Amino acid sequence: MHFDAFDRYHEKSSFLHGLDPRVKVLVTVIYIVSNALLPDAAWFSFVSAWIFLIAANLLSQLGIEYTFKRSIIALPFALVAITVLFSIPGKPISTFQFLMWDLTITDAGLLRFVSILIRSWLSVQMAILLVAVTRFPELIHALEHLRVPAILTTIIAFLYRYLFVLTDEVLRLIRARESRSAAVAGQRSGGGVAWRAKIAGNIAGQLFLRSYERSERIYNAMLSRGYSGHLYTLNPHEMKQRDYFVTAFAIAAIFIVQLVGRL
């Protein structure tokens, strides 16, 4: 039984796949920070950032629309910003009543809302592209090389390894419940809401206990192989000339995007 829904890596041998993972992580982070720093309604910048993204998509051989399709699931999170529509003072565009409030959309608010939407949408796509072209262990190596504290990279590595094991565990628990969720013909089944909530609580508790015991066993397995509080890894990555060149080029391009937005 496997649960691989979280594995977003796509095996290909494109230009982006071949880059050093450090370059990819660094450029992605800079791109996202740059997007966040762009002023509102900097349309030329948004377009140039988008072109940058499309170029990256093309270089990944995944197809122009690949990240676009994937990004749609992340879009609802941007709706958190919906309040800026009403909260920023400016010229009113339209007024309507929602429950007991009178809400007025202002022009400044609308501009900011659309800008936030575009910024987050571009950033999410770049992150999606990063995990699609980089194997997860390599991402962790990249973070180690970039001096992210070892405790964080270790936690991420363990999270990645056991996310799948845990999901399988949950699926098994739920399956065990399903297969005993029987009914007598002609009678309403399922029990009361409180009772069902209690069962769900028991499942969550079971999951916690099993994970806790598993963590103990994993720790023992680590001790057995000499673990003494420090993780060592071998990271066989080496920056090539091409990697430096790409980093420089990408940073320059992002810098130009920023300049366009501020002129």
Residues that bind other proteins (CB under 8 A): 2, 4, 136-137, 140, 157-158, 160-162, 164-165, 214, 217-218, 220-228, 232-234
64 or 159: CB nearest other proteins: 159
Least distance (Å) between residue 39 CB and other proteins? 40
68 or 164: CB nearest other proteins: 164
Residue 40's Cβ-count burial label (10 Å; 0-12, 13-18, 19+) is middle
90 or 137: CB nearest other proteins: 137
Measured distance between the N- and C-terminal CA atoms of the chain, rounded to whole angstroms? 56
Least distance (Å) between residue 32 CB and other proteins? 24
CA distance 226 to 224: 6
Cα 56 off chain centre by: 18
Nearest to 263 by CA among 18, 42, 20: 42
Contacts of 88 (CB under 8 A, 6+ apart): 106, 108, 109, 112
Least distance (Å) between residue 228 CB and other proteins? 7
Least distance (Å) between residue 226 CB and other proteins? 3
**Type of residue found at 50:** W
72 or 223: CB nearest other proteins: 223
165 or 174: CB nearest other proteins: 165
Beta bridge pairs of residue 95:
104
Contacts of 39 (CB under 8 A, 6+ apart): 45, 261, 262
147 or 230: CB nearest other proteins: 230
Least distance (Å) between residue 140 CB and other proteins? 7
Least distance (Å) between residue 136 CB and other proteins? 6
SS3 content of the chain, % helix, strand, coil (to 5): 70, 5, 25
Least distance (Å) between residue 135 CB and other proteins? 8
Token pair 């990004």 is found at: 71
CA distance 87 to 137: 43
192 or 229: CB nearest other proteins: 229
